[in-house]
Every structure is written in structure tokens, then in C-alpha cells.
Amino acid sequence: MNEYGKLYERDGRCVLQFERVFAHEPKSVFRRITDPDYFTKWYPFATGEMELKEGGRIDFDDGEGTKYEGVITAFEPPVVFAFREVDDLLRMELQNTPDGCRMTFEHKFDDRSWVAATAAGWHRCLDALSKMVNDQPPEWPDNRAELREFYRNNFSD
């Protein structure tokens, strides 16, 4: 399965979509996605302060003085975790597979000018999550420039 993200348009907005396959059942992966201790290790700017319920809040801090709050729009363990972060929508959905599960990650947003950097960032975050799902420490290899170049070349108009 291709680990690179895809870009398409839905309802007039950009959608970045990634898939990751895990040799673990959805319950185990869902825990890694939503547990505040894990969430802060793979999700950018997460503080770990979150109310895990539909309508619950998620606090973010960019480390440069900007703090903001997201709102959980769907919380259906162990299948769906979705939330609004400012104007962006993020959704993670897990589906059973014969060998574990497949996660579909979507980020819906408006500003296409950031798409290569955003895709490269999510690619790296989801790779770190994959490590944690497999009980390994998250790694952040120095591949940001190559990923940005890949996505810039593949998502150009």
C-alpha cells in the first residue's frame, strides 16, 4: 500500500488523505491515536488536554505564544476520531482487515499554498504514530526536504 498521501477536492475544499496499515486490531490503534500521552508525541502542537467525547475540546499550543482550541466532531471508539482545528477538519477512521486494521487519515482545508509542507508534515507525523503503534519510540528522520519536494512535484497544478 502506498504510504504517500493523496490530494483531492471535496465540497470545494482541499483534502489530504493518507492510509496506514497496522498489524493490530482497531481498539489498540485507536488508543494510540486518542490517548493524550501518545497524542502529544505524534500530533503537532497538542498539549494533551482533551475531552474525549463528541463536542469535547482539544487544546493546542504552537510553542510560540499562540494557543487555540479544537472541538471533537466525532468520537466513536474504536472506529472514528474527528475534530475541527480552527477551520480545518481532521478525521481518522479505522477499518478491520484480515491482518489488523487500516487507518484512513484526512485533513480538509482551504489554503492550497501550504499543501506540500502540510503533506510532508502529516507524512512524518503518521510515520511517528506508526512506530508508536508498534511499541517503538517515535522517530523523526531528517526527510522533511525530500518529502516537501515529492509533494510539491506531485501536487502541482
Inside any domain, residue 87: yes
Inside any domain, residue 34: yes
Report the CATH number at residue 57. 3.30.530.20
**pLDDT per residue as tens, the chain (157 positions):** 458 999 999 999 999 999 999 999 999 999 999 999 999 999 999 999 999 999 999 999 988 999 999 999 999 999 999 999 999 999 999 999 999 999 999 999 999 999 999 999 999 999 999 999 999 988 888 899 999 999 999 997 6
Q: How many domains is the chain partitioned into structurally?
A: 1
Q: Whole-prediction pTM value?
A: 0.94
Inside any domain, residue 118: yes
Inside any domain, residue 140: yes
Inside any domain, residue 17: yes
Inside any domain, residue 1: no
Inside any domain, residue 72: yes
Q: What is the 3-state secondary structure (H, E, C) of the chain?
A: CCCCCEEEEECCEEEEEEEEEECCCHHHHHHHHHCHHHHHHHCCCEEEEECCCCCCEEEEECCCCCEEEEEEEEEECCCEEEEEECCEEEEEEEEEECCEEEEEEEEEECCHHHHHHHHHHHHHHHHHHHHHHCCCCCCCCCCHHHHHHHHHHHCCC
Structural domain of residue 134, as residue ranges? 6-154
pLDDT at 1: 44
